[in-house]
Amino acid sequence: MPGQSGEAELSVRGSRFVAYAAPSSARAEAMAAVAQRREAHPKARHHCWAYLVGPPTAARDAGSSDDGEPSGTAGQPILGLIQRQAIGDAVVVVSRYFGGVKLGAGGLARTYARAAGEVLAGLPLARCVPRYTVELRLGFALEHAVRDWAAHHDAWLQDVAYDDGVTLRVSVPEVERQALAAFCSAQGIAHGFDE
C-alpha cells in the first residue's frame, strides 16, 4: 500500500494529466479520494480512477472508471498497473485537462498507465503483513503471560473483557499464528483456532 499520498503530472500532445495516489482500505475511502480530486481539479475534463482493496493477489474489492474516456482506455489500464506493481490498499485518480489533440485508444491507455506509474513510483510503500485474529479465554493468572507473549510477537490486543475469567481478542501476524496456538496449548488457554 502507498505509505502516503502523492501527485505527479505529465503532458502529452497538449493534454495535461495530473495523477494522484493514496492509501485506501475501503471503497468508500477510494470514492472520497475521487470526489476530492474532482474538487481540486474542477476544470479537468476527466477524472479516471482505479482502486484495489486488500492484498494485490487476493483483493477483497476493486473497481475502475473511464469517466467518459473511450471504454477500457483509462480505468482498466490504471487498475492493471496497480496489480502488476503488486500494490494493495490503493487508489489512483488521473485528472485530464484535454489539450485539443486526440490520442487514440492505445495512446490513452498508455498515457493513463504511465501517469499512474509515475505517481506510484514516487511514493514510499508500506509493507502489509497478513494478520489473523483469534479469541482467547483464560484465567486471570494467565493474562500477564499472554500480554507478555503479545508484546514479543507483534500481536495486538483488540478487545479485553472480564467476567469469571478473561476473554481477549488477539491479532497476530499470520506467520506467528502457529506459535500462538502452541503457546495457548502449552498454557491450557482455550482458543478459537481452526485446528
User: pLDDT tens-digit profile of 130-139?
Assistant: 788 899 999 9
Does 126 reside within a domain?
no
Query: What confidence category does residue 3 fall into, taking pLDDT thresholds of 50, 70 and 90?
Result: low
Q: Could you tell me the pTM of the whole model?
A: 0.66
Do 24 and 108 lie in one domain? The reply is yes
When mean pLDDT is compared across 13-17, 85-89, 130-134, the lowest value belongs to: 130-134
Do 145 and 70 lie in one domain? The reply is no
pLDDT tops 60 at residue 195: no
Number of domains in the chain: 2
Measured at the CA of 46, the angle between CA 22 and CA 61, to 5 degrees, comes to 45
Which of 121, 149, 168 corresponds to the end of one domain? 121
Q: What is the pLDDT of residue 127?
A: 67
Q: What is the pLDDT of residue 158?
A: 84
User: What's the whole-number mean pLDDT along residues 99-107?
Assistant: 88
The CATH number for 143's domain is 3.30.70
Cell of 72: 477500457
Q: What is the pLDDT of residue 6?
A: 83
Could you give the C-alpha distances from 88 to 50, 173, 195, in angstroms and in order?
Answer: 12, 17, 29
CA distance 98 to 41: 13
pLDDT 10s digits, 153-187: 988 888 899 999 999 999 888 888 999 999 999 99
CA distance 73 to 5: 24
Which of 100, 121, 142 corresponds to the end of one domain? 121
Contact criterion met (CB below 8 Å) for 65 and 96: no
Do 160 and 114 lie in one domain? The reply is no
Query: What confidence category does residue 76 fall into, taking pLDDT thresholds of 50, 70 and 90?
Result: very high
pLDDT tops 60 at residue 54: yes
Do 87 and 169 lie in one domain? The reply is no
Higher pLDDT, 67 or 6: 67
Does 1 reside within a domain?
no
User: What's the whole-number mean pLDDT along residues 30-35?
Assistant: 96
Which of 121, 142, 172 corresponds to the end of one domain? 121
CA distance 12 to 14: 6
Q: What is the pLDDT of residue 95?
A: 97
Q: Which domain holds residue 140?
A: 131-191
Contact criterion met (CB below 8 Å) for 7 and 20: yes
When mean pLDDT is compared across 29-38, 45-54, 172-181, the lowest value belongs to: 172-181
Cell of 36: 476530492
Do 81 and 108 lie in one domain? The reply is yes
Q: What is the pLDDT of residue 65?
A: 96
Does 16 reside within a domain?
yes
